[in-house]
Structure 1
């Protein structure tokens, strides 16, 4: 036996459930070492039981409801609580790691099963809480003590005996955890199989009669609507999606090969396919979304659709009537057919087409993109003062080059193909490129800039006058990026098809090419994003490309609105920008942390003078201006995982202050530029002159540049300054300063405030 205290994990196993009158549950608990534990208090454990009602589709139905004076019709658990409305049975600790719980509720006795009025779902359909012993039942246990490790247990059984044949196993918790790290709601509920024992059609939040409708918290409705978020037709029409005080109207689903917010990648969460790109996500009923569509599930996302003759007057966003061709036995059209009939039209070869086909664009785009491989074959003549000679091809999956000069997919207006060349790989800043601030050479390969062999289709880049600067040293990097134009879904519209970017390092003064440090794993990014593709679907799934432009010297200053006349003409106009800044650093190590950290308070939008509450960590928001001065406000980002778990994105150890990061400046890691045009008066040069001169740029020392991307408060900044960090200093001054960042002394591996320890990285 082992004590509960000190356990780092708990494993509950339900060994049997019998239903004679009140259900009796036998279970055991072990710790991380497989050793039995004992000593739970009654207040630690919570129990629930539900039945699975057959149908197309099936649905869970709770037996236990909280009897309370509330606006919520709430399925719940049996738990020991001082709050009203809860019941608790008898918990017996056998002192050997096994336990028995006898429910307080006798589910076999209708008089003992409480269903608060109105005993209906959110739409007024009566609930059936009768005991049906031949149906599949589920018992769920939650370890609810916040001082102990989170743990849930699930047990499916048929009270009358025999194997469980009817199931509703649709979403693996591990699928959710690809984005959410560990799905955790209501304290310690971490398993989707537990969630559905309460979140089924009988749970809902009451609206205001005659004013607002009831809000279902049925799992299939709630989860679809939460993830659809700001793309919900209702939200776009001005009705926020709220459950109680929680507002999910700004959620943006990040996983898509189409665009952020596109939720058609259904198999990300539920699939029955044990092969292909979604292997490992499969569950027995994972394909129900395409084989058993229902009004509740489909209208969760498509909530502008109404079924029947009239819309719900309390839902003004319902503007699309769902027509039906289904008739009853007498030939009269059925205006609101049963869910089981949906498949009659929503299937292959039928009028509406299959549900799968309607949601298949992300898969089609990804499959087409895999047919193309960008290939930089060689970089020669790459020394200082020389014009590099770069050969490349765009190959098929077998390695045979395409003819990019005649292939329609390369000539289409939706296609693009370009090459970047940057340096130095210790930390790119592209000094001397002539493209500012800190930008690499960028050559458009559609047209005369690519010269291709008519037989092999291997091409050479015409670099023009783009020479490697005389002062360049070390190694550089060439990167190929773009997209092809193909109609992937047969709708006669040519689609932009993303192709994974590629790069090749080359020597400038090094004897052999030296690669830049690699700190993130794109496969980790893709768990949440499917494909990381930005800037017009052309920079795709390759961080090694991103860092060429998003380097320490780069800011968004060229994309900021400019002063049109008077003092400071031509310089950025901070008075008209959302963040009131003249530029923002876009160095990758700073930008990506800031984007994901988001803000606690959003920037106010006129006429408001105070910003709304955000869902992030930073004190200040993050705004980056893009092409055509587009405003990209990342303050509202809602990071779905555990923000302080560095391994969500990073390769092992690369987030720690070790190696080059122990003494980053001495190791060649550059500070992040925060002011590429430090003097708007023009005293040290015109806007163009200041932009071209990296020597006058003001920077944050490297470690502080990373840490303040999240920890941006004044107290944190003061702490960093006291320990060697410097803000708004030229790179030369940083390099020669007698004051060095001493962060690793306390925050290095094994030290008193180790980054890994402080962030709670397991």
Structure 2
């Protein structure tokens, strides 16, 4: 592991903990305009391995007359004896953090980027108030698990006490994507992250016991007592159902569980005339692009909305799997509602549906819901060239933070499809209890802005969803820079 040289002692009551720190009491020598040399005040220990990788980080902060401050840090990696190129151990790169955070910084903004974080957040550093390590690989996993930590769910908050006794409570953190999506932070090409290691594993699985008897409140490890740091014996980095990469891939994305995939495709939308019932021809495929019978589905609906210049109306045809008729190796259905009187422009027609599929080693352990995506097709009312909606928010930008955008049970996944129901006239009136006040708008643009602004709003929206479930965005903490419109747009 990383070893730091500049340390301090931090106390809380009678508890004393060692922490890595920085220094600013060395000698700063001007070399040229804007160029300086710094000589450390501390002395290196005698046992320094000069053939090993080292890193030096410098952090600076500037205060302005208006009270604002700006900080930045920089680092250099080197091998003191020059015998080799440094092997940099950064498995969570700054650019991946910035997909959500749009600027990684800590401790007042002076330290920026993962390279600076890793330099002090090593196994050497502990919070004396809570006893929690601030080792980067443990602390970061636990922060991002937040409310999902077994210890938090059992009633123990996850806190770090910082400078001047400031309490940082991460117990209500909800990651905007599955916490098991390791590649979101580590990337696909990193070799180290799939290697199961005790400290990293138990950062998230913090109430799993590897000893017997299990401590109170702990769950025994599935495979029983195991030596610490022997995780990789049963959880290798690839190739088996129990590999670290595979078990974190998610049930429905796991090829070892036998799911073959599901995909919908819209072939054609016809008879799009005012007062007429449009006809939709479509296909249902498995993961190998083999056509499937529509009656294999447990739910399928088609939504039509318009105009694409600014959605103002929508209609849905449900239980399509029961009413569709064969059309070659595909299917055909007439929608339940006509194009409304006075409608002009173009319409969007989208699909959503799923099937329940048994999964597990014997395909009988449980049942998962597999969705077929949300294809959207466009058609001009009265014929002619259809006009798709202007693209203000792309799927890729949503997925940069959310991984795979999904809502309403996981089978609404596409931004354009969301807008067909979340249109200018949409409200939660059909879901809101009579005694819960006036209906709230579910118009996509304003709703999404207000959800992401959550904690900053005086009157955050409470929107009622399926089953009368209230969704209160007042505690949503956006991890990026809220006025950075380009993050989404």
2:301 equivalent among 409, 415, 418? 418
2:210·2:225 contact (CA, 8 Å) conserved in 1? no
2:240·2:246 contact (CA, 8 Å) conserved in 1? no
Distance in structure 1 (CA, Å) of the matches to 2:339 and 2:6 = 73
Deviation at 1:510? 6.8
1:205·1:214 contact (CA, 8 Å) conserved in 2? yes
Q: Which residue of 2 aligns with 1:345?
A: 234
Q: Secondary structure at the match of 1:494?
A: strand
Q: Which residue of 1 aligns with 2:8?
A: 66
- Structure 1 residues 370 and 90: CA distance shift in structure 2, 3 A: farther
2:432 aligned with 1:560: yes
Q: Which residue of 2 aligns with 1:714?
A: none
1:549 equivalent among 384, 405, 421? 421
Q: Which residue of 2 aligns with 1:494?
A: 367
For residues 560-615 of structure 1, give each alpha carbon's deviation from its aligned partner in whole angstroms, at most 9, with x where no partner exists.
Answer: 11xxxxxxxxxx213xxxxxx332111101110111111xxxxxxxxxxxxxxxxx
2:352 aligned with 1:481: yes
1:345·1:351 contact (CA, 8 Å) conserved in 2? no
1:234 equivalent among 145, 151, 166? 151
1:240·1:247 contact (CA, 8 Å) conserved in 2? yes
Q: Secondary structure at the match of 1:446?
A: helix
Distance in structure 2 (CA, Å) of the matches to 1:488 and 1:74 = 47
1:427 equivalent among 294, 304, 310? 310
For residues 45-75 of structure 1, give each alpha carbon's deviation from its aligned partner in whole angstroms, at most 9, with x where no partner exists.
Answer: xxxxxxxxxxxxxx11211123555576421
Deviation at 1:357? 2.6
| Aligned-residue CA RMSD (Å) | 2.9
1:418·1:445 contact (CA, 8 Å) conserved in 2? yes
2:252·2:259 contact (CA, 8 Å) conserved in 1? no
For residues 637-670 of structure 1, give each alpha carbon's deviation from its aligned partner in whole angstroms, at most 9, with x where no partner exists.
Answer: 12111111011111xxxxxxxxxxxxxxxxxxxx
Distance in structure 1 (CA, Å) of the matches to 2:343 and 2:361 = 49
Q: What residue ranges of structure 2 are gaps of 5+ in the alignment?
A: 162-166
Deviation at 1:364? 1.8
Deviation at 1:76? 0.9
1:628 equivalent among 463, 467, 471? 467
2:114 aligned with 1:192: yes
1:100 equivalent among 37, 40, 57? 37
Distance in structure 1 (CA, Å) of the matches to 2:380 and 2:148 = 47
For residues 493-541 of structure 1, give each alpha carbon's deviation from its aligned partner in whole angstroms, at most 9, with x where no partner exists.
Answer: 332223331111222257432322321011000011111111111111x
Q: Which residue of 1 aligns with 2:393?
A: 520
Q: Which residue of 1 aligns with 2:208?
A: 305
Matches within 5 A, 1:72-91: 73-79=18-24, 88-91=25-28
Deviation at 1:178? 0.8
Distance in structure 1 (CA, Å) of the matches to 2:415 and 2:398 = 10
1:364·1:489 contact (CA, 8 Å) conserved in 2? no
Deviation at 1:396? 6.0
Distance in structure 2 (CA, Å) of the matches to 1:342 and 1:303 = 14
Matches within 5 A, 1:200-219: 200-207=122-129, 214-219=131-136
Q: Which residue of 2 aligns with 1:141?
A: 58
Distance in structure 1 (CA, Å) of the matches to 2:290 and 2:218 = 51
2:435 aligned with 1:573: yes
Deviation at 1:380? 1.6
Q: Secondary structure at the match of 2:303?
A: strand
Distance in structure 2 (CA, Å) of the matches to 1:597 and 1:366 = 38
2:261 aligned with 1:386: no
1:264 equivalent among 174, 180, 197? 180
Deviation at 1:230? 0.5
Matches within 5 A, 1:616-655: 616-650=455-489
Distance in structure 2 (CA, Å) of the matches to 1:649 and 1:488 = 36
- Structure 1 residues 370 and 468: CA distance shift in structure 2, 3 A: farther
2:61·2:70 contact (CA, 8 Å) conserved in 1? no
2:218 equivalent among 299, 308, 318? 318
Q: Calculate the TM-score normalised by the size of structure 1.
A: 0.58
Q: Which residue of 2 aligns with 1:732?
A: none
For residues 304-339 of structure 1, give each alpha carbon's deviation from its aligned partner in whole angstroms, at most 9, with x where no partner exists.
Answer: 123444666xxx54343686566xxxxxxxxxx352
Q: Secondary structure at the match of 1:390?
A: strand
2:121·2:135 contact (CA, 8 Å) conserved in 1? yes
Distance in structure 1 (CA, Å) of the matches to 2:180 and 2:246 = 10
Q: Which residue of 1 aligns with 2:164?
A: none
Q: Secondary structure at the match of 1:78?
A: coil
Q: Which has the larger radius of gyration?
A: 1
Q: Which residue of 1 aligns with 2:92?
A: 171
Matches within 5 A, 1:646-685: 646-650=485-489
- Structure 1 residues 149 and 507: CA distance shift in structure 2, 3 A: same
Deviation at 1:146? 5.0
2:293 equivalent among 399, 404, 407? 404
Deviation at 1:144? 2.5
Distance in structure 2 (CA, Å) of the matches to 1:224 and 1:348 = 18
Distance in structure 1 (CA, Å) of the matches to 2:237 and 2:62 = 50
For residues 465-486 of structure 1, give each alpha carbon's deviation from its aligned partner in whole angstroms, at most 9, with x where no partner exists.
Answer: x222223222222111223444
1:306·1:322 contact (CA, 8 Å) conserved in 2? no
Deviation at 1:287? 3.3
1:361·1:489 contact (CA, 8 Å) conserved in 2? no
Distance in structure 2 (CA, Å) of the matches to 1:171 and 1:350 = 23
Q: What residue ranges of structure 1 are gaps of 5+ in the alignment?
A: 1-58, 80-87, 110-129, 208-212, 257-262, 272-277, 327-336, 431-438, 562-571, 575-580, 599-615, 651-762
Q: Which has the higher strand share?
A: 2
Distance in structure 1 (CA, Å) of the matches to 2:51 and 2:343 = 77
1:482·1:499 contact (CA, 8 Å) conserved in 2? yes
Distance in structure 2 (CA, Å) of the matches to 1:350 and 1:422 = 45
Distance in structure 2 (CA, Å) of the matches to 1:355 and 1:396 = 27
For residues 668-700 of structure 1, give each alpha carbon's deviation from its aligned partner in whole angstroms, at most 9, with x where no partner exists.
Answer: xxxxxxxxxxxxxxxxxxxxxxxxxxxxxxxxx
Q: Secondary structure at the match of 2:97?
A: helix
Distance in structure 1 (CA, Å) of the matches to 2:53 and 2:41 = 21
Distance in structure 2 (CA, Å) of the matches to 1:351 and 1:441 = 43
Distance in structure 1 (CA, Å) of the matches to 2:412 and 2:255 = 14
Q: Which residue of 1 aligns with 2:326?
A: 452
- Structure 1 residues 387 and 319: CA distance shift in structure 2, 3 A: closer
| Count of residue pairs the alignment pairs up | 473
More off after superposition, 344-353 vs 215-224: 344-353
Distance in structure 1 (CA, Å) of the matches to 2:78 and 2:43 = 17
- Structure 1 residues 237 and 396: CA distance shift in structure 2, 3 A: closer
- Structure 1 residues 215 and 397: CA distance shift in structure 2, 3 A: closer
Distance in structure 2 (CA, Å) of the matches to 1:424 and 1:297 = 51
2:278·2:334 contact (CA, 8 Å) conserved in 1? no
2:51·2:84 contact (CA, 8 Å) conserved in 1? no
